Structure 1
Amino acid sequence: MQTYQDSASSSNTVPPAVPQTDDLSSTAPGQLRVIKRNGSVVPYTDDKISVAITKAFLAVEGGNAAASTRIHETVKQLTEQVSAIFKRRMPSGGTMHIEEIQDQVELALMRSGEHKIARAYVLYRAARAEERARQVPEPDKAHPSIRVKQADGTLIPLDLGRLEFIIKEACDGLPEVSYEHVLAEALKNLYDGVSEKEVNTSLVITARAMVEKEHNYSLVTARLLLDKLRAEALNFLGVADNATQHDMTVYYPKALAAYIEKGIELELLSPELRDYNLAELGAALKPERDHQFHYLGLQTLYDRYFIHSNDVRIELPQVFFMRVAMGLAGREADKNARAIEFYNLLSSFDYMSSTPTLFNAGTLRPQLSSCYLTTVPDDLHGIYGAIQDNAMLSKFAGGLGNDWTPVRALGAYIKGTNGKSQGVVPFLKVVNDTAVAVNQGGKRKGAVCAYLETWHLDIEEFLELRKNTGDDRRRTHDMNTANWIPDLFMKRVFQDGEWTLFSPNDVPDLHDLYGKAFEERFEQYEAMTRSGEMKLFKRVKAADLWRKVLSMLFETGHPWITFKDPCNLRSPQQHVGVVHSSNLCTEITLNTNKDEIAVCNLGSVNLAQHIVDGALDIAKLEKTVKTAVRMLDNVIDINYYSVPQAENSNFKHRPVGLGLMGFQDALYKLHIPYSSDEAVQFADTSMEAISYFAIKSSSDLAVERGRYQSYEGSLWSQGILPIDSVQILQEQRGADFIDVDVSMTLDWNSLRDTVKAQGMRNSNVMAIAPTATIANITGVSQSIEPTYQNLYVKSNLSGEFTVVNPYLVRDLKERGLWDAVMVNDLKYYEGSVQKIDRIPDDLKALYSTAFEVEPRWLVDAASRRQKWIDQAQSLNLYIAGASGKKLDITYRMAWLRGLKTTYYLRALAASSTEKSTVDRGSMNKVASAPVAAPVEAAPVPKACSLDDPDCEACQ
């Protein structure tokens, strides 16, 4: 193999003491650069790759004329593939190490089927690595050959001693990680003149690349990122120039005090935070909790949540949690003790507040609520007033749910102008564009969902709003839509009956009716159409309209299917109003009218944190829920209200929505497959416990703080709890159209007596939100979702990296099955374990992904939860091989099982993971595996913009 050397590197010699950086003055902006082994940086060119591959071929096959043509064509193709990979990964230019290029050359050879060439190339690289290891001496603690450029432009030798300490500290206590490996790989990416920032970036990227082989490197990566955070924040606050995690016992208390003063000075924080005993709060900070973060969680906080000044983050993780806690405890009698209590709950990851609360608690404008629900009146002034309310609510980071059913339909008579209405759709186009124009505080996209009831004459055009064909002036590509479906329509679908569409100005009371009262009035209006008393209507087959709903849902993802009657018949507040729609994420079911904009105040219990010693820790859960409900109740009094109708509604009814996340993680800890009766039972009992403790906590708060204003006459005041309201739905809908399990395990009779005696502080207490982002922060699966994939590629501001299911890794390690081949297989099968022969059947069942879980299990588990919840839940439905029949069965089942709402429909996507990183050569032992394509495929698809910082559903 001496006939071909590492031609992509210009030198195989021992690096000189002080390497010189090549002249890059001719390098164009955005061009790729290569770090050679001697530390110098050169422009990236294709020709050296071609030379290296050609020499590899010649060394094995020789240079005869017959082979030369094949070699030339193959080398050209492989070179283009390798170059395309780097240009796609770094479209704006960037720097890579010579080893990365050689890795891609090796993979290209294997993927192309040139196994002999690849084997020779691998052996040659290994031999050269051994030779270099023998020649290169141990570096000094001060690395003279790599100088670091300071902020003032001066160059100082790289402090290897500190670098080694930081990496050792990051790896401390974590099994199966090697600080030596991280250090060695990171040094490869450093070069003479590297900036201080790039040194940390090199550490982070190096450790991050190792995550797919050992999940604990995710923790290592987060801890290395902390070094950057500490340098940035502590320096800005004047606390310290550099600090290790070990130093934070001393520096965290100082940082909190300095941060509060600086934040107030910069008008980023409320001056009220100065009134706390900062010494006491600083002493309560727990630096060791920084080590709970996985990389994705900490990077998410850094990118989106930490308060910053001129793009410099001035918060550290524990300071961040304390700032939120202080913001929520400001009205408490003993606010220092409560702030510490709230801090301990948040920083432990046992519970997490919603995104707006994390964004804005303790700031000058504390808009802490997640979503708002409005009803749009049927007059021009009211319509544009509602659109203005949308803009103001969206400005301060609120998601929106709009009820558009009252607005008259296309062709309806307008008395004031003696003309005809253009219907709902043109106004929705304005709503769509308003959501785009007014984003949520500049932190995430504006988001709105429009609701329309199924009898509205514009419903058929409403269903088509998200289509990519047709008149674009009557399309809304950026907003969500939902169908507000009465029970009578579903009965007509089951009975294959007719359905009548009306304009709401002709049937003004229908929107406020539900249950038997709605059915009776609807039939009276239908009779009027037959007698000639009503002229504007349309009669359709209910099954045809239902089929169109499902086909549009499959084609465009909208409208979401939500059910009017269970939302109202089971509402504790039916004595003072009507639920006219749900919210942006379909988990809130609160009354709205012209004077009241309903408000969602959300937070989520991390269910996985409450699995202790293989069981649900009921005592810990009770403690968590009690504090969480108190925090949520505080939101109502502290919250900034940008429109008066929201303040009026929130203070009158004081609704909150306590939810959960990490349900799938809890199942993993219990070794229960999602597709099982045991999982359905656990969904039932875990939600029962949360419901019990949430209701009790709100009732206890009523003793301390007083009942909410509209309590009298509510279902609560009658001793009717959420589990009891299922009977109301059964009576109104009819026994033939509902199938809900109503079993229970706790002492609900005593709680009924308690509520009747003490009252309730909050009109509504529970709702399960999507939790997409706060689940990332805490490192668990979002909400009640099954795992989307066991391995996927994540993209963020820092690039791409692989995320692997840590529970799967744990179980495979225990059985001696976790190795490089398994990683390869998981990549090839897009995170699925079902086709990997050597994985046992019990693990295949446990680690089934979302599209491998039959939707009936999702619906059954949701039904068991719904009986305990006074609001609703964001329920995504995953359907593999979706067909009209399968959708029809699933959504009929959802209605029969008593669900109030559903959220996104997720049909199996066609795109796949980056199979280019997968070797399908002889080393792989998976039977009958196809050969991967020799080019990079698209990144793995993500459910509901999973992990996307701009996802409108993030909570």
Structure 2
Amino acid sequence: MQTETNPSGTSTGATSPELNTPVSGGIAATAPGQLRVIKRNGTVVPFEGSKISVAITKAFLAVEGGTAAASSRIHETVAKLTEQVTATFKRRMPSGGTIHMEDIQDQVELSLMRAGEHKIARDYVIYREEQARKRAAKASLSQETQDAANAIGVVQADGSRVPLDLERLHTIVSEACDGLSDVSEADILDEALKNLYDGVTADELSTSLVITARTMIEQDPNYSYVAARLLEDNLRAEALSFMGLANSATHAEMVQLYPAALPAYVAKGVELELLAPGLLDYDLELLGRAILPERDKQFTYLGLQTLYDRYFIHSDEVRFELPQVFFMRVAMGLATEEADKNARAIEFYELLSSFDYMSSTPTLFNAGTLRPQLSSCYLTTVPDDLHGIYGSIQDNAMLSKFAGGLGNDWTPVRSLGAYIKGTNGKSQGIVPFLKVVNDTAVAVNQGGKRKGAVCAYLETWHMDIEEFVELRKNTGDDRRRTHDMNTANWIPDLFMKRVFNDEEWTLFSPSDVPDLHDLYGKAFEERYAYYEAMAAAGEIKLFKTVKAENLWRKMLGMLFETGHPWITFKDPCNIRSPQQHVGVVHSSNLCTEITLNTSADEIAVCNLGSVNLPQHIDENGLNLTKLRKTIGTAVRMLDNVIDINYYSVDTARNSNMKHRPVGMGVMGFQDALYKQHMSYASEEAVTFADRSMEAISYYAIEASSALAAERGTYSSYEGSLWSQGIFPVDSLQTLVNERGADYISANFDQTLDWPALRAQVQQNGMRNSNVMAIAPTATIANITGVSQSIEPTYQNLYVKSNLSGEFTVVNPYLVSDLKERGLWDGVMVNDLKYYDGSVQAIDRVPDDLKAIYSTAFEVEPRWLVDAASRRQKWIDQAQSLNLYINNANGKKLDITYRMAWYSGLKTTYYLRSLAATGTEKSTIDTGALNAVSNEAAEPAPVPAACSLDDPDCEACQ
């Protein structure tokens, strides 16, 4: 409901004109016997019935719209109601007199009810109440504040000077606080106005409001929404003025402006060569009407600021993309090849803008643009020849240019000291080439949006492995160090068995044992033993024998010291791969969640998106009906990426078109636990990880199979595990058989009707070779305001730093629970600061809440591994699993990573060990924005490790 009838019949909504001007002395000149109206400010104006007609008409239009069918009925009804209201007062005061504004509104409301227009009347009542609340909040401003405001002039962008519009400021702040509990409009205005001065610029005025709300986030998490809505006011002014639609707009006015903004935006974007001309082929008026302005209110401040800084389309640093237009642009970009692209664009928009699912960063960056590079991950194998090596580095550069994250398999390249037949010399090994890869990643920085990001993988039997694990050290010959790239160990099961059995391990050059690269499982073990026998017999000259446990300890030592190389496992990635009939998985990707085949002819590509898990939790737990609907649309969007995607390298196109892999992931796992009052460190949470991933797996496979029935199977489907009726949960048994039951702990529980789904896949096939992978999601989780990926909460109160600045983060679930028990106050805020966001040492926090709100370093690593193991049985690829270890030492690392392998995990990601932190022991009353020290916001193994939200790391996007 957008309008309110004032005493003179004037609509007082944002779009209503001023209708009456009182004469001097506050009394309007009227003829004898004429009715007059007392306004709320005490002035008196003539009564005009026609103005009541305007207000009631707007009320009807706000509810029923302005269709031709409704127009005739509205006109007749309004005329009748206006006549009734006017006649009532004339009958009461035949000789004239004064009526108060509230009396007229009461009569309008009563007439609507008597006419049976109950919905209009209900919205009218709600709107009147809201206006009353706004007036009360305005009245609560101190006289000092109001007097100060009257003395302030604001300098506009064109240099002109206007009086401070306190009325508009109040409207904006009131809208920002609408529907939020425990926030104060008056406090925001009072504090913001204290920081203003005569001659303040319009930009400074807007910034003052936003910063004021930001400083209050630690008082209550709802102020994050307030800050976001105040920021939106700035965004609206910037975008709408650039497109020539308006100089500014309130949230209420966007109901009318959003439909006009979409076609104006597309036209401007195409004109500036920033958007694909094909977007003009959509029914932009239809799509504009489908936009839901109220979804602008979902953003936290961190989420909206991140979108503004890094995602919105801009020209000369002017962002002219509004939040809902942004989601519609992405939806249109993903629907361009659909038969009914308008309907599909609306479907995709509704899913994205609801935050139920979010596409990955490259998709959000580039959908609908001239070069739609929408894929997240690229995996390559580097061949053992100079032309191939530098060709691979060139591929890295081209893929990185358009925001792709890279995983390079370097195992085939011969080691240091290996013979080079062409020159009759000896190889310098892989390290000098990795130095070039490192510098290329720095030079080609993903289109200027973020640093290039690459991860090099090497198998544990490679002769260069000992130098490889030291690449990130800060000491030694800097020419043999790579400080800007990531590294990962690609570990065969046989090595882990020898670690467990305290046996020796032999290192080789791949030029002497070339087939080991493509072997795994029992075949690898047999061939490796054969080569060891050859070495022992003197038939292989270049080799080295070490104790497996010593090499393992060195790996863990470097992981602790530098954060690299990560620990990933070759055999489970291959033994459980649906595509083992057409190739081998030689590495994972930049974020360790993708496990796809690579070769000299194929660069693997994966396209990612994530389900927002807490959005699918209700009072009964996981809402399977909603989850199924979300995943059905999301898998379709992911499959569309493959055909729309811009491929800068032909081998990537060939691979992606042949196998069509996608990666459906999840974010907000910790939030989903909070909504169910579960502790991460509990069997309940492990079971929920199992059940939720089972459902996601089931519906993702179902959706891909349905697409196969509609669009056909992927071309290499025949012979895949899918075609044999072997699903991810079935391949877990294969891993047990290959590895041996003594070396693995596996859970095979299941709850859904998997035989029925196998029958569906046998009939329809699969559209995608792979359908699941859990990515880190740090940035898209920021956008949607949930915890990233499958991560536990870092702290309950801290400051997050990224490219968009520093943001106070308060755990809203903890605050809500403390409020229910009467425990949330300034003292609690100060206690959380003092104890670095932990509740464990705060005596008045009940034990049940201490368990639920344990932070990442207060959760034993075994719970992270157990939950990940239960998920892994359902996933055809892998998961980006960070491990948090408090007071880390060699023994803890050894136990944790052995447990990860023993539990059947395919990969692990960053090691997070708690470094020294500092927190300002300040109070909330200081007003300092970052009262929690930023040093406490970024745990790291040692300096080189990735922070919780490293803006330079593609892995965190």
Task: Please indicate the TM-score interval, normalised by the length of the shorter structure.
Answer: 0.7 to 0.9
Does 2:796 correspond to 1:809? no
Which residue of structure 2 aligns with residue 119 of structure 1? Answer: none
1:189: Cα distance to partner? 1.0
| Aligned 1:468-479 pairs, distance under 5 A | 468-479=474-485
Which residue of structure 2 aligns with residue 307 of structure 1? Answer: 313
Which residue of structure 1 aligns with residue 948 of structure 2? Answer: 946
Q: Distance in 1 between matches of 2:160 and 2:762?
A: 73
**Aligned match of 1:405 in 408, 411, 417?**
411
CA contact (8 A) 2:881 2:909 kept: yes
Instruction: Give the counterpart letter for 1:732 in structure 2.
Output: E
Q: What CA deviation, in whole Å up to 9, does each residue of 1:662-706 have, x standing for no partner?
A: 000000000000000000000000000000000010001001000
Secondary structure at 2:252 match in 1? helix
1:737: Cα distance to partner? 0.5
| Aligned 1:144-163 pairs, distance under 5 A | 144-163=150-169
Q: Distance in 1 between matches of 2:932 and 2:606?
A: 46
Which residue of structure 2 aligns with residue 538 of structure 1? Answer: 544
Q: Distance in 1 between matches of 2:145 and 2:585?
A: 71
Instruction: Give the counterpart letter for 1:139 in structure 2.
Output: Q
1:621: Cα distance to partner? 0.2
Which residue of structure 2 aligns with residue 640 of structure 1? Answer: 646
Q: Distance in 2 between matches of 1:135 and 1:736?
A: 74
| Aligned 1:535-684 pairs, distance under 5 A | 535-684=541-690
- Would the alpha carbon gap of residues 465 and 135 (structure 1) be closer, same or farther in structure 2, given more than 3 Å must change? closer
Q: Which runs of 5+ in 2 are unaligned?
A: 1-139, 941-945
1:152: Cα distance to partner? 1.8
1:139: Cα distance to partner? 2.3
Q: Distance in 2 between matches of 1:464 and 1:802?
A: 36
- Would the alpha carbon gap of residues 692 and 313 (structure 1) be closer, same or farther in structure 2, given more than 3 Å must change? same
| Aligned 1:739-758 pairs, distance under 5 A | 739-758=745-764
CA contact (8 A) 2:145 2:193 kept: no
1:172: Cα distance to partner? 1.2
Q: What CA deviation, in whole Å up to 9, does each residue of 1:265-297 have, x standing for no partner?
A: 000000000000011100100000000011110
Q: Distance in 2 between matches of 1:350 and 1:161?
A: 36
Structure 1 vs Structure 2 CA RMSD: 1.6
- Would the alpha carbon gap of residues 935 and 304 (structure 1) be closer, same or farther in structure 2, given more than 3 Å must change? closer
Does 2:684 correspond to 1:687? no
Does 2:257 correspond to 1:251? yes
Does 2:725 correspond to 1:719? yes
Which residue of structure 1 aligns with residue 146 of structure 2? Answer: 139
1:918: Cα distance to partner? 7.2
1:156: Cα distance to partner? 1.2
1:951: Cα distance to partner? 2.9
Which residue of structure 1 aligns with residue 871 of structure 2? Answer: 865
Secondary structure at 2:462 match in 1? coil
CA contact (8 A) 2:596 2:604 kept: yes
Sequence identity of aligned pairs in percent?
Answer: 79
1:916: Cα distance to partner? 4.2
| Aligned 1:128-207 pairs, distance under 5 A | 137=144, 139=146, 143-207=149-213
Which residue of structure 2 aligns with residue 338 of structure 1? Answer: 344
1:914: Cα distance to partner? 2.9
Secondary structure at 1:953 match in 2? helix
TM-score (normalizing by structure 1)? 0.83
1:144: Cα distance to partner? 3.7
Does 2:232 correspond to 1:226? yes
Q: Distance in 1 between matches of 2:615 and 2:552?
A: 41
- Would the alpha carbon gap of residues 919 and 907 (structure 1) be closer, same or farther in structure 2, given more than 3 Å must change? farther
Q: Distance in 2 between matches of 1:452 and 1:315?
A: 43
**Aligned match of 1:780 in 786, 789, 795?**
786
1:801: Cα distance to partner? 4.1
- Give the number of equivalent residue pairs: 809
Secondary structure at 2:779 match in 1? helix
1:600: Cα distance to partner? 1.5
Secondary structure at 1:868 match in 2? coil
Instruction: Give the counterpart letter for 1:940 in structure 2.
Output: A
TM-score (normalizing by structure 2)? 0.83
Instruction: Give the counterpart letter for 1:941 in structure 2.
Output: E
Does 2:508 correspond to 1:502? yes
Q: What CA deviation, in whole Å up to 9, does each residue of 1:829-852 have, x standing for no partner?
A: 110111111101100000000000
Secondary structure at 1:601 match in 2? strand
CA contact (8 A) 2:417 2:426 kept: yes
Q: Distance in 1 between matches of 2:516 and 2:568?
A: 17
Instruction: Give the counterpart letter for 2:716 in structure 1.
Output: S
CA contact (8 A) 1:297 1:777 kept: yes
Q: Distance in 1 between matches of 2:728 and 2:193?
A: 60
**Aligned match of 2:740 in 713, 720, 734?**
734
Give structure 1 regions of 4+ aligned residues with deviation exceeding 6 angstroms: 934-937
Q: Distance in 2 between matches of 1:573 and 1:347?
A: 34
Does 2:376 correspond to 1:376? no
Q: What CA deviation, in whole Å up to 9, does each residue of 1:80-138 have, x standing for no partner?
A: xxxxxxxxxxxxxxxxxxxxxxxxxxxxxxxxxxxxxxxxxxxxxxxxxxxxx999556
Which residue of structure 2 aligns with residue 698 of structure 1? Answer: 704
CA contact (8 A) 1:824 1:919 kept: no
**Aligned match of 2:280 in 274, 279, 295?**
274
1:912: Cα distance to partner? 2.4
Does 2:303 correspond to 1:294? no
| Aligned 1:877-896 pairs, distance under 5 A | 877-896=883-902
Which deviates more, 184-193 or 354-363?
A: 184-193
Which deviates more, 937-946 or 170-179?
A: 937-946
| Aligned 1:431-442 pairs, distance under 5 A | 431-442=437-448
CA contact (8 A) 1:207 1:218 kept: yes
CA contact (8 A) 1:684 1:861 kept: yes
**Aligned match of 2:828 in 815, 822, 828?**
822
Does 2:907 correspond to 1:905? no
Secondary structure at 2:599 match in 1? coil
1:799: Cα distance to partner? 5.3
Secondary structure at 2:585 match in 1? coil
Which residue of structure 1 aligns with residue 75 of structure 2? Answer: none
Q: Distance in 1 between matches of 2:818 and 2:536?
A: 68
Q: Which runs of 5+ in 1 are unaligned?
A: 1-132, 921-933
Instruction: Give the counterpart letter for 1:223 in structure 2.
Output: R
CA contact (8 A) 2:913 2:939 kept: no
Q: Distance in 1 between matches of 2:865 and 2:919?
A: 28
Q: What CA deviation, in whole Å up to 9, does each residue of 1:379-407 have, x standing for no partner?
A: 00000000000000000000100000000
1:945: Cα distance to partner? 2.6
| Aligned 1:94-105 pairs, distance under 5 A | none
Secondary structure at 1:834 match in 2? coil
Instruction: Give the counterpart letter for 1:609 in structure 2.
Output: Q
CA contact (8 A) 1:830 1:940 kept: no
Instruction: Give the counterpart letter for 2:526 in structure 1.
Output: E
Secondary structure at 1:824 match in 2? helix
